[in-house]
């Protein structure tokens, strides 16, 4: 299935996504008012792989995720489908809204964390390690159901302080290279760093099949790599720091169509 033209057409229209803010709440300043997906910076060869579902290797993870969705696990004798039925209907739009504020936990959770909450609390099954193949398979399958829908996370109300923490992390210089995320993805996007063309760092394609890794990776795995690239000490995957950062990054990509499973170098 060719989806490149569909995504390109949706991108402009979907930028109208709006989030309501409480009275007196400061709307955040979008540093890039016209965000561009990572596909804008990808090579034609990479896009050819991404846009053909028969060539995109991430669909091996999609197949595994669909099997896991229907597999009974844990002491409760349930599967994901036991509560959510057909994922093509129940999960449509979920990836576009994640990360999201969890009222009971009073914190923001990512899609990966929400899957593990369901596993441990509903299924009586063990949590899956962040960025493990089984968890990446499930989240890729779930994310696929939102493909083409605009990213539309809600950062208002009690979620705002977690967004602000993520923004603070994004703009803090770190590591021996004394760089912040914006150094590459706002000040130098469109330029080459060795053989890599720097993108705007939009997160709408995750989970992503990364050719360098030869597997599907989670966004938090990529964030860990970025911190290591500037010779810094990254937080653990699944940590509050990276969760808040992922929340902020979703806001930066607000309005862009979900592309997962994207393919990147």
**Which residues are identified as catalytic?**
226
C-alpha gyration radius of the chain: 18
How many other CB atoms are found less than 10 A from the CB of residue 72? Answer: 13
Instruction: Note whether 10 and 257 are within 8 A (CB).
Output: yes
Enumerate residues 6+ apart whose C-beta is below 8 A from 91.
84, 142, 145, 146
Picking from 90, 37, 100, the residue whose alpha carbon sits closest to that of residue 257 is 37
Among candidates 198, 203, 209, which has minimal Cα distance to 255? 203
- Let me know if 260 is exposed, middle or buried by CB neighbors in 10 A (0-12, 13-18, 19+): buried
């Amino acid at each position: 299935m060719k989806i490149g033209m569909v995504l390109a057409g949706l991108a402009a229209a979907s930028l109208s996504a709006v989030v309501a803010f409480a009275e007196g709440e400061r709307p955040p300043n979008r540093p890039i008012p016209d965000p561009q997906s990572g596909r804008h910076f990808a090579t034609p060869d990479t896009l050819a792989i991404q846009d053909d579902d028969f060539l995109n290797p991430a669909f091996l993870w999609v197949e595994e995720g669909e099997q896991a969705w229907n597999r009974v696990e844990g002491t409760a004798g349930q599967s994901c489908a036991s509560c959510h039925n057909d994922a093509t209907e129940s999960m449509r739009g979920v990836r576009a809204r994640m990360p999201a504020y969890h009222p009971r936990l009073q914190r923001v959770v990512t899609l990966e964390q929400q899957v593990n909450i369901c596993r441990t609390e509903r299924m009586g099954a063990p949590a899956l390690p962040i960025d493990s193949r089984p968890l990446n398979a499930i989240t890729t399958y779930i994310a696929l159901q939102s493909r083409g829908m605009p990213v539309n996370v809600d950062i208002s109300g009690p979620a705002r302080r977690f967004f602000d923490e993520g923004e603070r992390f994004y703009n803090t210089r770190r590591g021996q290279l004394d760089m912040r995320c914006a150094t590459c993805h706002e000040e130098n996007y469109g330029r080459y760093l060795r053989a890599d063309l720097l993108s705007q760092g939009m997160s709408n394609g995750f989970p992503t099949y990364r050719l360098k890794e030869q597997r599907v990776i989670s966004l938090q795995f990529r964030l860990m790599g970025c911190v290591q690239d500037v010779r810094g000490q990254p937080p653990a995957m699944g940590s509050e720091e990276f969760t808040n950062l992922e929340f902020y990054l979703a806001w930066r990509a607000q309005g862009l169509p979900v592309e997962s499973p994207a393919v990147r170098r």
